[in-house]
Structure 1
Amino acid sequence: MRNGQLKPAYNIQCASSGYFIVGSYASHHPSDRYTLPLFVEKLTKSYGKLMDKIVADAGYESEENYVYLEKKG
């Protein structure tokens, strides 16, 4: 918020393949950077493998996420 207040809300993530939504994830985390590992784990459980490519904006950028993705292969 521009006034520095945090309002209770949900943070929604979506995954797509081609033109189709193949996964979604809702969390209470105010920042995207905390949702990436949780969402990737959910997608991996649903599909049995890690996606070939993960495209995300700068909101997901953190050293922890880079290390996590490097370990996942």
Structure 2
Amino acid sequence: MRNGQLKPAYNIQCASSGYFIVGSYASHHPSDMYTLPLFMEKLTKSYGKLMDKIVADAGYESEENYVYLEKKG
């Protein structure tokens, strides 16, 4: 926030296929970077496989996420 305060909030992630929402994930982490592996594991558990294509903005960028996705295929 502009005044330096931290307010409690949730970071919501959403997965879609075509025009349909196929998964969602709420986290207390303020940065998207920490939510990617947790959300991908939830989707994999629900659908039995990792999504074929993952599109995300720069907020998800980290070496750990690249390594995670590389290992998962």
TM range (shorter): over 0.9
Structure-2 separation of matches of 1:21 and 1:50 = 16
In the TM superposition, residue 36 of structure 1 has moved relative to its aligned partner by: 0.2
* CA distance in 2 between partners of 1:22 and 1:49 (Å): 13
How far apart are 1:6 and its partner, in Å? 1.9
Aligned-partner Cα distance in 1 for 2:30–2:22: 23
Taking only the aligned residue pairs, the percentage that are identical comes to: 97
**Residue 3 of structure 1: CA displacement?**
2.8
Residue of structure 1 in register with 2:51 after alignment: 51
SS in 2 for 1:49: coil
The offset of 1:65, in angstroms, is 0.4
Unaligned runs of 5+ in 2: none
Q: Distance in 1 between matches of 2:65 and 2:4?
A: 26
* Structure 1 runs not aligned, ≥5 long: none
Count residues in correspondence. 73
After superposing on structure 2, the runs of 4+ consecutive aligned residues of structure 1 that deviate more than 4 Å are none
TM-score by structure 1 length? Answer: 0.95
State the superposition RMSD in angstroms: 0.8
1: CA distance between counterparts of 2:4 and 2:64?
25
